[in-house]
Structure 1
Amino acid sequence: VLVQVESAAGLTHLQAIASTEGVDGVFFGPADLAASMGLLGRTADQRVQDAIAQGIKTVRGAAKAAGVLSTDPAVARKYLALGARFVAVGVDTTLLVRAANDLRAAFKDAAIVSQPSVPDK
Protein backbone atom coordinates (compact mmCIF):
# COMPACT_ATOMS: atom_id res chain seq x y z
CA VAL A 1 0.00 0.00 0.00
CA LEU A 2 1.34 3.40 -0.99
CA VAL A 3 0.02 6.51 0.70
CA GLN A 4 0.42 10.11 -0.37
CA VAL A 5 1.71 12.97 1.74
CA GLU A 6 0.76 16.27 0.15
CA SER A 7 0.61 18.69 3.06
CA ALA A 8 2.72 20.21 5.80
CA ALA A 9 0.47 18.40 8.29
CA GLY A 10 1.35 15.11 6.61
CA LEU A 11 5.04 15.90 6.98
CA THR A 12 4.51 16.64 10.67
CA HIS A 13 3.08 13.13 11.12
CA LEU A 14 5.32 11.41 8.58
CA GLN A 15 7.19 9.20 11.04
CA ALA A 16 3.91 7.76 12.31
CA ILE A 17 2.54 7.40 8.78
CA ALA A 18 5.65 5.63 7.49
CA SER A 19 5.75 3.36 10.54
CA THR A 20 2.14 2.23 10.14
CA GLU A 21 1.87 -1.52 9.62
CA GLY A 22 0.71 -2.28 6.09
CA VAL A 23 2.09 0.93 4.59
CA ASP A 24 4.77 -0.03 2.08
CA GLY A 25 5.72 3.43 0.93
CA VAL A 26 4.97 7.13 0.82
CA PHE A 27 4.59 9.26 -2.29
CA PHE A 28 5.15 13.00 -1.98
CA GLY A 29 3.05 15.40 -4.05
CA PRO A 30 5.15 18.56 -4.49
CA ALA A 31 2.40 20.83 -5.89
CA ASP A 32 -0.06 20.31 -3.06
CA LEU A 33 2.76 20.28 -0.52
CA ALA A 34 4.03 23.63 -1.81
CA ALA A 35 0.50 25.07 -1.62
CA SER A 36 0.09 23.87 1.96
CA MET A 37 3.36 25.60 2.80
CA GLY A 38 2.06 28.90 1.40
CA LEU A 39 4.16 28.48 -1.76
CA LEU A 40 1.45 27.89 -4.35
CA GLY A 41 2.93 26.92 -7.72
CA ARG A 42 6.49 26.97 -6.39
CA THR A 43 7.53 23.32 -6.33
CA ALA A 44 11.10 24.36 -7.19
CA ASP A 45 11.35 26.49 -4.04
CA GLN A 46 14.24 25.25 -1.93
CA ARG A 47 11.99 24.96 1.14
CA VAL A 48 9.71 22.54 -0.70
CA GLN A 49 12.63 20.52 -2.03
CA ASP A 50 14.23 20.42 1.43
CA ALA A 51 10.96 19.23 2.98
CA ILE A 52 10.73 16.44 0.41
CA ALA A 53 14.38 15.51 0.93
CA GLN A 54 13.78 15.24 4.67
CA GLY A 55 10.62 13.26 3.97
CA ILE A 56 12.53 10.80 1.80
CA LYS A 57 15.07 10.37 4.60
CA THR A 58 12.31 9.76 7.16
CA VAL A 59 10.51 7.22 4.98
CA ARG A 60 13.72 5.38 4.10
CA GLY A 61 14.61 5.38 7.81
CA ALA A 62 11.38 3.47 8.43
CA ALA A 63 12.56 0.93 5.81
CA LYS A 64 9.79 1.94 3.41
CA ALA A 65 9.85 3.10 -0.20
CA ALA A 66 9.73 6.83 -0.89
CA GLY A 67 8.50 8.34 -4.13
CA VAL A 68 7.84 11.75 -5.60
CA LEU A 69 6.73 13.54 -8.75
CA SER A 70 9.16 15.85 -10.54
CA THR A 71 8.90 17.09 -14.10
CA ASP A 72 12.40 18.58 -13.84
CA PRO A 73 14.96 15.89 -14.78
CA ALA A 74 17.70 17.37 -12.58
CA VAL A 75 15.42 17.48 -9.54
CA ALA A 76 14.17 13.95 -10.27
CA ARG A 77 17.77 12.71 -10.31
CA LYS A 78 18.43 14.54 -7.04
CA TYR A 79 15.49 12.80 -5.37
CA LEU A 80 16.71 9.43 -6.67
CA ALA A 81 20.18 10.16 -5.30
CA LEU A 82 18.60 11.00 -1.94
CA GLY A 83 17.00 7.57 -1.80
CA ALA A 84 13.65 7.86 -3.54
CA ARG A 85 12.79 4.44 -4.94
CA PHE A 86 10.38 5.71 -7.58
CA VAL A 87 10.03 9.08 -9.26
CA ALA A 88 7.26 10.03 -11.64
CA VAL A 89 8.95 12.23 -14.23
CA GLY A 90 6.03 13.38 -16.31
CA VAL A 91 2.36 14.16 -16.25
CA ASP A 92 -0.04 13.53 -19.10
CA THR A 93 -0.78 17.15 -19.91
CA THR A 94 2.88 18.17 -19.87
CA LEU A 95 3.86 15.24 -22.08
CA LEU A 96 1.05 16.00 -24.53
CA VAL A 97 1.95 19.69 -24.75
CA ARG A 98 5.64 18.87 -25.23
CA ALA A 99 4.85 16.39 -28.02
CA ALA A 100 2.54 18.89 -29.73
CA ASN A 101 5.19 21.62 -29.53
CA ASP A 102 7.81 19.24 -30.96
CA LEU A 103 5.51 18.39 -33.88
CA ARG A 104 4.77 22.05 -34.52
CA ALA A 105 8.49 22.87 -34.51
CA ALA A 106 9.24 19.98 -36.86
CA PHE A 107 6.75 21.28 -39.43
CA LYS A 108 6.95 25.02 -38.83
CA ASP A 109 9.37 25.63 -41.68
CA ALA A 110 7.99 22.94 -43.97
CA ALA A 111 7.22 24.22 -47.44
CA ILE A 112 3.57 24.56 -48.21
CA VAL A 113 2.82 22.44 -51.21
CA SER A 114 0.35 24.22 -53.43
CA GLN A 115 -2.45 22.27 -54.96
CA PRO A 116 -2.67 22.33 -58.73
CA SER A 117 -5.35 24.70 -59.84
CA VAL A 118 -8.53 23.16 -61.08
CA PRO A 119 -9.90 24.83 -64.20
CA ASP A 120 -13.40 26.21 -63.97
CA LYS A 121 -15.96 24.28 -65.97
Structure 2
Amino acid sequence: MNRVLEKYRVGQPSVGTFTHLRSSVAVEALGTAGLDFVILDTEHCVLNPETMAECITAAGAAGLDALVRIHSVTREAVLHPLDLGAKGLIVPAVETVEEVERLVRFAKFPPVGGRGFCPTRDGLWGCDEASLAGAAVYMDRSNRETLLIPQCETAGCLANIETIAAMEGVDGIFVGPLDLSIALGCPMELDAPQMREALARVVAACKAAGKLAMIFCGDVETARKRLAAGFDSAALGLDVLALIQSYRAMAEAVRG
Protein backbone atom coordinates (compact mmCIF):
# COMPACT_ATOMS: atom_id res chain seq x y z
CA MET A 1 0.00 0.00 0.00
CA ASN A 2 1.17 3.50 -0.83
CA ARG A 3 -0.03 5.54 2.17
CA VAL A 4 0.38 8.93 0.50
CA LEU A 5 -1.64 7.79 -2.49
CA GLU A 6 -4.31 6.10 -0.39
CA LYS A 7 -4.82 9.22 1.70
CA TYR A 8 -5.00 11.35 -1.43
CA ARG A 9 -7.66 9.08 -2.90
CA VAL A 10 -9.92 9.54 0.13
CA GLY A 11 -9.27 13.26 0.49
CA GLN A 12 -7.04 13.10 3.57
CA PRO A 13 -3.78 15.08 3.83
CA SER A 14 -0.49 13.26 4.32
CA VAL A 15 2.38 14.58 6.42
CA GLY A 16 6.03 13.58 6.34
CA THR A 17 9.54 14.91 6.70
CA PHE A 18 13.01 14.87 5.18
CA THR A 19 15.85 12.87 6.69
CA HIS A 20 19.54 13.79 6.49
CA LEU A 21 20.70 11.60 9.38
CA ARG A 22 21.64 8.68 7.09
CA SER A 23 20.37 6.26 9.72
CA SER A 24 17.87 3.41 9.52
CA VAL A 25 17.41 3.82 13.29
CA ALA A 26 16.37 7.45 12.78
CA VAL A 27 13.93 6.42 10.03
CA GLU A 28 12.44 3.70 12.23
CA ALA A 29 12.08 6.20 15.08
CA LEU A 30 10.22 8.60 12.77
CA GLY A 31 7.72 5.82 12.22
CA THR A 32 6.62 6.18 15.84
CA ALA A 33 5.79 9.87 15.30
CA GLY A 34 2.59 9.34 13.33
CA LEU A 35 4.05 10.48 10.01
CA ASP A 36 2.93 9.08 6.67
CA PHE A 37 6.18 9.31 4.75
CA VAL A 38 9.88 10.08 4.99
CA ILE A 39 11.96 11.54 2.16
CA LEU A 40 15.49 10.19 1.83
CA ASP A 41 17.33 13.15 0.36
CA THR A 42 20.13 12.28 -2.04
CA GLU A 43 20.18 15.76 -3.56
CA HIS A 44 21.63 17.55 -0.54
CA CYS A 45 22.88 14.51 1.38
CA VAL A 46 25.25 11.76 0.22
CA LEU A 47 23.56 8.39 0.75
CA ASN A 48 25.26 5.20 -0.34
CA PRO A 49 23.14 2.37 -1.82
CA GLU A 50 23.52 0.13 1.23
CA THR A 51 22.28 2.83 3.62
CA MET A 52 19.44 3.70 1.25
CA ALA A 53 18.36 0.05 1.20
CA GLU A 54 18.47 -0.13 5.00
CA CYS A 55 16.43 3.07 5.38
CA ILE A 56 13.80 1.95 2.88
CA THR A 57 13.47 -1.37 4.73
CA ALA A 58 13.26 0.42 8.09
CA ALA A 59 10.59 2.79 6.79
CA GLY A 60 8.42 -0.07 5.59
CA ALA A 61 8.78 -1.89 8.89
CA ALA A 62 7.85 1.29 10.78
CA GLY A 63 4.75 2.02 8.69
CA LEU A 64 6.21 4.86 6.63
CA ASP A 65 6.31 5.38 2.88
CA ALA A 66 9.93 5.84 1.87
CA LEU A 67 10.24 8.43 -0.89
CA VAL A 68 13.63 9.28 -2.38
CA ARG A 69 14.66 12.68 -3.68
CA ILE A 70 17.08 11.76 -6.41
CA HIS A 71 20.09 13.85 -7.43
CA SER A 72 19.90 13.77 -11.22
CA VAL A 73 17.71 12.87 -14.18
CA THR A 74 19.57 9.69 -15.09
CA ARG A 75 18.48 6.10 -15.54
CA GLU A 76 20.66 4.94 -12.64
CA ALA A 77 19.38 7.61 -10.22
CA VAL A 78 15.78 6.70 -11.07
CA LEU A 79 16.06 2.92 -11.27
CA HIS A 80 18.05 2.04 -8.16
CA PRO A 81 15.68 3.50 -5.50
CA LEU A 82 12.67 1.95 -7.27
CA ASP A 83 14.33 -1.47 -7.40
CA LEU A 84 15.09 -1.14 -3.68
CA GLY A 85 11.40 -0.60 -2.94
CA ALA A 86 11.02 3.17 -2.66
CA LYS A 87 7.35 4.16 -2.83
CA GLY A 88 8.14 7.17 -4.97
CA LEU A 89 10.69 9.59 -6.35
CA ILE A 90 10.89 13.35 -5.97
CA VAL A 91 12.96 14.96 -8.71
CA PRO A 92 14.54 18.36 -8.02
CA ALA A 93 15.46 21.21 -10.36
CA VAL A 94 13.19 20.13 -13.22
CA GLU A 95 13.18 22.71 -15.99
CA THR A 96 11.58 21.28 -19.12
CA VAL A 97 8.88 18.98 -20.43
CA GLU A 98 11.60 16.97 -22.17
CA GLU A 99 13.28 16.22 -18.83
CA VAL A 100 10.00 14.91 -17.46
CA GLU A 101 9.46 12.76 -20.54
CA ARG A 102 12.86 11.19 -19.86
CA LEU A 103 11.93 10.63 -16.21
CA VAL A 104 8.72 8.86 -17.18
CA ARG A 105 10.65 6.65 -19.57
CA PHE A 106 13.06 5.62 -16.80
CA ALA A 107 10.51 5.30 -13.95
CA LYS A 108 7.44 3.68 -15.51
CA PHE A 109 7.07 0.28 -17.12
CA PRO A 110 5.51 -0.16 -20.58
CA PRO A 111 3.16 0.92 -21.97
CA VAL A 112 3.68 4.20 -20.06
CA GLY A 113 7.47 4.22 -20.05
CA GLY A 114 10.46 1.98 -20.58
CA ARG A 115 11.67 1.04 -17.09
CA GLY A 116 14.02 -1.92 -17.09
CA PHE A 117 12.60 -5.12 -15.63
CA CYS A 118 14.31 -7.43 -13.14
CA PRO A 119 13.00 -9.34 -10.10
CA THR A 120 14.09 -6.96 -7.35
CA ARG A 121 13.15 -6.03 -3.79
CA ASP A 122 10.15 -3.88 -4.81
CA GLY A 123 8.39 -7.08 -5.96
CA LEU A 124 10.02 -9.29 -3.30
CA TRP A 125 12.26 -10.70 -6.02
CA GLY A 126 9.30 -11.99 -7.96
CA CYS A 127 7.56 -13.49 -4.92
CA ASP A 128 4.93 -10.92 -3.91
CA GLU A 129 1.29 -11.32 -4.91
CA ALA A 130 1.44 -9.02 -7.94
CA SER A 131 4.64 -10.61 -9.25
CA LEU A 132 3.28 -14.12 -8.87
CA ALA A 133 0.24 -13.06 -10.88
CA GLY A 134 2.51 -12.29 -13.81
CA ALA A 135 4.81 -9.59 -15.13
CA ALA A 136 1.92 -7.58 -16.60
CA VAL A 137 0.15 -7.40 -13.21
CA TYR A 138 3.37 -6.44 -11.42
CA MET A 139 4.22 -3.72 -13.95
CA ASP A 140 0.70 -2.30 -13.85
CA ARG A 141 0.77 -2.22 -10.04
CA SER A 142 4.16 -0.49 -10.06
CA ASN A 143 2.99 2.13 -12.56
CA ARG A 144 -0.09 2.92 -10.45
CA GLU A 145 1.36 2.72 -6.94
CA THR A 146 4.92 4.05 -7.34
CA LEU A 147 4.94 7.85 -7.41
CA LEU A 148 6.91 10.00 -9.83
CA ILE A 149 6.86 13.58 -8.52
CA PRO A 150 8.75 16.33 -10.38
CA GLN A 151 9.73 19.23 -8.15
CA CYS A 152 8.59 22.72 -9.09
CA GLU A 153 11.35 25.03 -7.91
CA THR A 154 12.53 26.66 -11.15
CA ALA A 155 11.06 29.28 -13.44
CA GLY A 156 11.14 26.75 -16.27
CA CYS A 157 9.06 24.18 -14.42
CA LEU A 158 6.56 26.81 -13.32
CA ALA A 159 6.20 28.06 -16.90
CA ASN A 160 5.35 24.51 -18.02
CA ILE A 161 3.46 23.39 -14.91
CA GLU A 162 0.10 22.73 -16.56
CA THR A 163 1.70 20.52 -19.22
CA ILE A 164 3.96 18.69 -16.74
CA ALA A 165 1.21 18.03 -14.21
CA ALA A 166 -1.05 16.59 -16.91
CA MET A 167 1.55 14.22 -18.36
CA GLU A 168 0.88 10.48 -18.22
CA GLY A 169 3.31 8.93 -15.77
CA VAL A 170 3.54 12.02 -13.58
CA ASP A 171 1.74 11.41 -10.28
CA GLY A 172 2.01 14.85 -8.74
CA ILE A 173 4.12 17.95 -8.19
CA PHE A 174 6.31 18.76 -5.18
CA VAL A 175 6.97 22.46 -4.59
CA GLY A 176 10.37 23.49 -3.26
CA PRO A 177 9.41 26.96 -2.02
CA LEU A 178 12.90 28.11 -1.03
CA ASP A 179 14.49 27.64 -4.44
CA LEU A 180 11.28 28.72 -6.17
CA SER A 181 11.36 32.01 -4.28
CA ILE A 182 14.94 32.53 -5.46
CA ALA A 183 13.96 31.74 -9.04
CA LEU A 184 11.11 34.25 -8.84
CA GLY A 185 13.33 37.04 -7.54
CA CYS A 186 12.06 37.14 -3.96
CA PRO A 187 14.56 35.00 -2.03
CA MET A 188 12.99 33.43 1.09
CA GLU A 189 9.97 35.75 0.88
CA LEU A 190 7.58 32.82 0.83
CA ASP A 191 4.44 34.95 1.05
CA ALA A 192 5.48 37.46 -1.60
CA PRO A 193 2.79 38.15 -4.22
CA GLN A 194 4.66 36.25 -6.94
CA MET A 195 5.01 33.26 -4.62
CA ARG A 196 1.32 33.26 -3.73
CA GLU A 197 0.47 33.38 -7.42
CA ALA A 198 2.92 30.57 -8.23
CA LEU A 199 1.63 28.27 -5.47
CA ALA A 200 -1.97 28.86 -6.54
CA ARG A 201 -0.98 28.02 -10.12
CA VAL A 202 0.65 24.74 -9.05
CA VAL A 203 -2.38 23.73 -6.99
CA ALA A 204 -4.73 24.58 -9.86
CA ALA A 205 -2.63 22.57 -12.33
CA CYS A 206 -2.61 19.55 -10.04
CA LYS A 207 -6.34 19.76 -9.37
CA ALA A 208 -7.11 20.03 -13.08
CA ALA A 209 -4.96 16.96 -13.80
CA GLY A 210 -6.14 14.94 -10.78
CA LYS A 211 -2.61 14.77 -9.37
CA LEU A 212 -1.03 15.16 -5.93
CA ALA A 213 0.11 18.64 -4.85
CA MET A 214 2.94 18.38 -2.30
CA ILE A 215 5.08 21.07 -0.68
CA PHE A 216 7.91 21.54 1.82
CA CYS A 217 6.97 23.51 4.95
CA GLY A 218 9.36 24.76 7.57
CA ASP A 219 6.89 24.86 10.45
CA VAL A 220 3.44 23.74 11.58
CA GLU A 221 1.71 27.07 10.90
CA THR A 222 2.93 27.10 7.30
CA ALA A 223 1.92 23.48 6.78
CA ARG A 224 -1.61 24.18 8.00
CA LYS A 225 -1.85 27.21 5.70
CA ARG A 226 -0.63 25.26 2.65
CA LEU A 227 -3.01 22.37 3.26
CA ALA A 228 -5.88 24.82 3.68
CA ALA A 229 -4.89 26.42 0.37
CA GLY A 230 -5.33 23.13 -1.48
CA PHE A 231 -2.09 21.21 -1.14
CA ASP A 232 -2.62 17.51 -0.47
CA SER A 233 0.61 16.77 1.37
CA ALA A 234 3.21 18.59 3.46
CA ALA A 235 6.82 17.61 4.08
CA LEU A 236 7.36 19.18 7.47
CA GLY A 237 10.90 20.22 8.29
CA LEU A 238 14.10 18.19 8.43
CA ASP A 239 15.09 15.65 11.08
CA VAL A 240 18.52 17.21 11.71
CA LEU A 241 16.97 20.61 12.43
CA ALA A 242 14.28 19.05 14.64
CA LEU A 243 17.02 17.31 16.64
CA ILE A 244 18.93 20.57 17.10
CA GLN A 245 15.83 22.54 18.05
CA SER A 246 14.63 19.92 20.51
CA TYR A 247 17.93 19.60 22.36
CA ARG A 248 18.55 23.35 22.29
CA ALA A 249 15.17 23.94 23.95
CA MET A 250 15.86 21.27 26.59
CA ALA A 251 19.32 22.62 27.31
CA GLU A 252 18.02 26.17 27.68
CA ALA A 253 15.24 24.96 29.97
CA VAL A 254 17.69 23.08 32.21
CA ARG A 255 20.01 26.06 32.45
CA GLY A 256 17.10 28.32 33.32
Same fold at TM > 0.5: yes
Q: Which has the larger radius of gyration?
A: 1
Structure 2 match to 1:19: 166
Residue 103 of structure 1 pairs with residue 250 of structure 2 = yes
> Partners in 2 of 1:42 and 1:87 — Cα distance?
19
Residue 53 of structure 1 pairs with residue 208 of structure 2 = no
1:89 match: secondary structure: strand
> Partners in 2 of 1:60 and 1:37 — Cα distance?
23
Equivalent AA in structure 2 for residue 106 of structure 1: A
Judging changes above 3 Å, is the alpha-carbon distance between structure 1 residues 45 and 101 closer, same or farther for their aligned structure 2 residues? farther
Judging changes above 3 Å, is the alpha-carbon distance between structure 1 residues 90 and 59 closer, same or farther for their aligned structure 2 residues? same
> Partners in 2 of 1:65 and 1:8 — Cα distance?
20
Residue 5 of structure 1 pairs with residue 152 of structure 2 = yes
> Partners in 2 of 1:38 and 1:13 — Cα distance?
18
- The alpha-carbon deviation at position 68 of structure 1 amounts to 0.3
TM-score of the aligned structures, taking structure 2 as reference length: 0.40
Equivalent AA in structure 1 for residue 183 of structure 2: S
| Further displaced range: 95-104 or 27-36 | 95-104
Residue 63 of structure 1 pairs with residue 220 of structure 2 = no
Equivalent residue runs for 1:21-100 within 5 Å: 21-100=168-247
> Partners in 2 of 1:83 and 1:22 — Cα distance?
22
- The alpha-carbon deviation at position 44 of structure 1 amounts to 3.6
| Further displaced range: 70-79 or 25-34 | 70-79
Equivalent AA in structure 2 for residue 19 of structure 1: A
Higher RCO, 1 vs 2 (CA within 8 Å, ≥6 residues apart): 1
TM-score of the aligned structures, taking structure 1 as reference length: 0.80
> Partners in 2 of 1:19 and 1:57 — Cα distance?
11
Structure 1 match to 2:54: none
> Partners in 2 of 1:30 and 1:92 — Cα distance?
18
1:58 match: secondary structure: helix
Q: Which runs of 5+ in 2 are unaligned?
A: 1-147
- The alpha-carbon deviation at position 29 of structure 1 amounts to 0.2
- The alpha-carbon deviation at position 16 of structure 1 amounts to 0.7
Equivalent AA in structure 2 for residue 40 of structure 1: P
- Asked if the contact 1:18/1:62 (under 8 Å) is kept, the reply is yes
Aligned-residue identity in percent: 31
Runs of 4+ in 1 over 3 A off after TM superposition: none
2:189 match: secondary structure: coil
> Partners in 1 of 2:180 and 2:189 — Cα distance?
10
2:237 match: secondary structure: coil
- The alpha-carbon deviation at position 17 of structure 1 amounts to 0.4
> Partners in 1 of 2:251 and 2:238 — Cα distance?
20
